[in-house]
Structure 1
Amino acid sequence: MTDQLTVLLAGGGTGGHIFPNAAVLERLREADAGEPEKSRVTGHFILSRRPLDGQIADGLGVEWTSIVAEPFGLRPRVLWRFLSGFGEAKRQVRGVIARNGGNPGLRGAQPSALGRTVMVATGGFVSGPAVRAAKACSVPVALVNLDAVPGRANAWLAGQVDKVFSVYEHASLRGAERVGLPLRRTAVRGDVEPEQARCELSLLPDRRTLLVTAGSQGAVSINRAMMALCEHDAVRSALRERWQVMHLAGESMRDEVAKAYAAAGIEANVLAFCDTMGLAWRSADLAITRAGAGSVAEAWANRVPSVFLPYPYHKDEHQRLNAQPMVDTGGAVLLRDRVEPTANVSELAPLLGPMLTADDRLMEMRAALDRDPPGDGAQAVADWVLGQA
């Protein structure tokens, strides 16, 4: 390895594009710590201008630059913003490459004598100009496809990069190496006993725990479905007898959801969000959740039997497809989010009844998740990066 390895981590707009890159950097730093006399890794995140991106990066304690990239769309105003921002975003990324020891010149230029620069891109609209700039500067690039349906950016970029990793198999991503979704160590807390995890989350240590989550913003339809289930006699009785709920409801509905559990006499800890999701998954015996690629990967890695309610408004239904491999193992169940609370309760209540009252069902589901766990995608990507140095 050369003295300096700069890793540009491109992906933004959502935490789902940022956290996998954080997991790759984490593994690179672990390798760096193991051989301090041989390596020195510097990571720099390339993000969108959305405020959430900067908040996440600051929380991770990483260096970052936001670029003017905009999502692609065919509506005139959206298309104009995409096209007008693309060239400037590329120039911004070339500036990042120059500042971090790379050569901002044209394709074919030699790497800086100071060390090597490598890029990892996790898709989305930030990755398009970032990858194009990197290739113009002869920077090796790996693309990590996270979702079951490749987005426009990934489909376009897959043939232009040096390496493609994919969490799912795709005929359109030929030659892609199949890996598990890159997860940070904090997302999988096998080092902590469930009882300890519950205590750290202000839960009762000896009660079965139902985790309800739909990401940092919550999900109105899932929140309302759970509030309606509080009024369903069988579900309410089962929850009151043996269970407690940890519900991540989002800021706008946190108080309303908490009042529903309290009125039903159900032990519950309702939060707007949780920044220690590894502990949340470790505490859980069962989860009700959306099916974003990160949520599916975390549920599977933590061996948590899950009921998936995919986001109902995606035309390509990629969240449904994200969940399908875990469902195929027998470790999860997939339902359609009917949006209207009564309709959701009519499907959830008969399903939850046996799960909440019969230990055998959850034991069988957890055993199914143990049989074929996903690999460490973060380590696979980090190994490729180190091989470029």
Structure 2
Amino acid sequence: MKFFVAGGGTGGHFFPALALIECMLERGLNVEFVGSQRGIEYRFKDSIPCKAHFLKSHPFVGKGPLEKAKAVYYALTEGLKLLRHTSNAKGVVFGGYASLPLGLALSLRRKGLYLHEQNSVPSTTNTLLSKFSEKVFITFEHSRRFFPQDKVIKTGLPVRKRLLQNFIKEDIKESFGFDKGKPVLLVMGGSQGASFLNQLATEIFSSLPLQGIHITGERDKDKVESFYKERKLPVKVFAFSEDMSHIYGASDLAISRAGASSITELSLFGIPSLFIPFPFSARDHQFYNAKEIEDLGGGLVIKQEDATLQKVINGIELMLSQRDNFSRNIKRFANPYACQDILRLLVA
């Protein structure tokens, strides 16, 4: 039996797909990756540990008529090319335009299609393909309502094994040069950073006696780092990090956007989080992602238009005063065995 995994265009679709592939290879399964020539997955192609197919797929949502026509054309033509590779195959599609050709190929075969929806509000691709799928794996309970109920199984989001390490928090804090007896605030704005959060973070660290780790994205890194150095504030600045396990391990609480991967990773480490969702996320899915954590008692949500410095400080102080409760509750969300649960159903 051959397996295909498709996901890309953005990191939110690609990195969970990569985590599942790594898990499948550990099980000795024959798996190949499908992505787009124009997505983030092509830039990270050297990190894909199996045969990879990069197709001429194009985004559809939010594009003009000509771009939409091009997207449909390539989805169909590339999907038809995949037909000859998918006889007696199963595939897991992680949504987004990059995975639509594989989804169409398996839909035409009327078998072997499995979906994973990362966000609380599903992608157009997964909504379309769910009618032809065997199962739909979900991360957030909120997304259950968008799919055929007899197909939905909540597995959580796959994360890469190297992230799931055990550390002694005090030792990691010392490795960063922090005082191990004082709280560390992590601020991160997703894979591209977030100028709003970057500005807010400088105000927070200027106002509160906190140590911090601030992931800025490339654009603002030098400016933010200079700000902290000039004021001798104990904040470590990174444009991005490929060693997030140590950063999470050192952190006591976080301020973050509300992408599915960020929420899952913060949950796995039990880090109480104040989420400021990206206000222009598709169908406001980041707000609904974060709301599920707030409803569990594991974090707080403040919309960007309401995120004044004082309101954010109040949220930080509340989470610090009840950190153990928040930490315990946010841990209830994540499933560290998401990959294994998906494979149990896929290989059955």
Q: TM-score, normalised by structure 2?
A: 0.90
Change (3 A) 1:303 1:76: same
1:130 pairs, out of 93, 102, 117, with 102
Across the two proteins, how many residue pairs are aligned to each other?
342
Larger Rg: 1
1:9 pairs, out of 1, 5, 12, with 5
2:197 pairs, out of 222, 225, 232, with 222
Change (3 A) 1:353 1:134: same
Which structure has more relative contact order (CA 8 Å, sep 6+)? It is 1
CA contact (8 A) 1:304 1:366 kept: yes
Change (3 A) 1:245 1:82: same
2:147 paired residue number: 173
The alpha carbon displacement at 1:253 in A equals 0.7
**2:172 is the alignment partner of 1:183:** no
Change (3 A) 1:214 1:93: farther
Any stretches of 5+ residues in structure 1 without a counterpart? Answer: 33-40, 104-110, 112-116
**Where does 1:367-378 land on structure 2 (aligned, <5 Å)?**
367-370=328-331, 373-374=334-335, 376-378=337-339
**Where does 1:1-389 land on structure 2 (aligned, <5 Å)?**
5-32=1-28, 41-50=29-38, 52-73=40-61, 75-94=64-83, 97=85, 102-103=86-87, 111=88, 117-137=89-109, 140-169=112-141, 170-174=144-148, 175=150, 176-189=152-165, 191-198=166-173, 202-204=176-178, 206=180, 207-232=182-207, 235=208, 238-239=209-210, 244-314=211-281, 316-338=283-305, 344-355=308-319, 358=320, 360-370=321-331, 373-374=334-335, 376-387=337-348
The alpha carbon displacement at 1:46 in A equals 0.8
Q: Which amino acid aligns with 2:277?
A: P
Change (3 A) 1:28 1:150: same
The alpha carbon displacement at 1:119 in A equals 0.6
CA contact (8 A) 1:188 1:282 kept: no
| Identity in percent | 25
Any stretches of 5+ residues in structure 2 without a counterpart? Answer: none
CA contact (8 A) 2:258 2:278 kept: yes
Farther off after superposition, 7-16 or 77-86: 77-86
Look up the SS of the partner of 1:12 in the other structure. Answer: coil
CA contact (8 A) 1:68 1:88 kept: no
Q: CA RMSD in A?
A: 2.3
